[in-house]
Structures are given as structure tokens and as C-alpha cells.
């Protein structure tokens, strides 16, 4: 995958088609982080993601190194991909080495992969 045009060389972008295949085949080996707010997750959710709402950053930021493996492949999702890109940039600054932003977020996943997921 090419590097992000917003943050060159720092993290990769992952399209929903590639993610869906990997999610089905390699779910157990992926670290999955959803940075959306609790009310958004209540509307549309993908099982297997750890929820770290950006609005609660101060509550979980200090535990990021012990809660997640900085060397494991980490995929970050939000609604459309902007907040997750911010999180990816921050994870890289914290020493995470294999970080990917889910392009288009859960909205793209609902449109392209699973139309049973509610859109908002």
C-alpha cells in the first residue's frame, strides 16, 4: 500500500476491499482500533475492534504502549477516515511501526462490503 498523501512515509492506507479479506482471513493477528464516539459505535459496529474514542484520549493515551503491541499490524477506523488518520499519525509518533488507516472508514465498508451495516 502507498504511504498516506497527508502524512508521507508515516503510515499506510488500506482500502475496504483489502481490509475485508484480511479481516476474514487474519482477524486474530490484527490489532483493530475504532476511534469513533460511543454513540457512533451504537449505530454501526464491526466486531473485533477496540474502541478508543478520541474525545476520551486523556483516559487511554498513557496506556497505549501496554494495551497494544507497537510492532503488530494495527488498523485504525473511524466514520470516514479523517480521525483515524490523526490516530495513525499519533501512533507512529508513539513508536508503532505497522499502522494502517482504513480509507473511507466504516461508511465505505458499509457501502462497498456490507450494506447491512447502518449508515449515518
Report how far apart the first and last C-alpha atoms of the chain are (Å, whole number).
28
Q: Above 60 in pLDDT, residue 119?
A: yes
Q: Report yes or no on 2 lying in a domain.
A: no
Q: Report yes or no on 57 lying in a domain.
A: yes
Structural domain count of the chain: 1
Residues labelled as active-site residues: 78
Q: Report yes or no on 60 lying in a domain.
A: yes
Q: Report yes or no on 1 lying in a domain.
A: no
Q: What CATH number should be reported for the domain holding residue 68? A: 3.40.250.10
Q: Report yes or no on 66 lying in a domain.
A: yes
Q: Report yes or no on 65 lying in a domain.
A: yes
Q: Above 90 in pLDDT, residue 78?
A: yes
pTM here is 0.90
Q: Report yes or no on 106 lying in a domain.
A: yes
Residue 37 belongs to domain spanning: 12-112
Q: What is the pLDDT of residues 31-77, one digit of tens each?
A: 999 999 999 999 999 999 999 999 999 999 999 999 999 999 999 99
DSSP string, 4-62: PSSSTTT-EEE-HHHHHHHHHHHGGG-EEEE-S-HHHHHHS--TTPEE--GGGHHHHGG
DSSP label of 78: -
Q: What is the pLDDT of residues 7-31, one digit of tens each?
A: 444 899 999 999 999 999 877 789 9
Q: Report yes or no on 118 lying in a domain.
A: no
Amino acid at each position: 500500500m502507498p504511504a498516506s498523501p497527508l502524512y508521507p512515509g508515516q503510515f499506510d492506507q488500506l482500502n475496504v476491499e483489502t481490509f475485508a479479506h484480511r479481516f476474514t482471513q487474519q482477524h486474530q493477528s490484527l490489532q483493530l482500533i475504532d476511534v469513533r464516539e460511543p454513540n457512533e459505535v451504537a449505530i454501526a459496529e464491526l466486531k473485533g475492534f477496540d474502541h478508543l474514542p478520541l474525545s476520551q484520549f486523556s483516559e487511554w493515551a498513557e496506556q497505549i504502549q501496554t494495551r497494544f503491541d507497537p510492532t503488530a499490524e494495527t488498523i485504525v477506523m473511524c466514520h470516514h477516515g479523517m480521525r483515524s488518520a490523526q490516530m495513525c499519525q499519533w501512533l507512529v509518533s508513539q513508536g508503532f511501526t505497522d499502522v494502517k488507516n482504513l480509507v473511507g472508514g466504516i461508511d465505505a465498508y458499509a457501502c462497498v462490503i456490507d450494506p447491512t451495516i447502518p449508515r449515518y
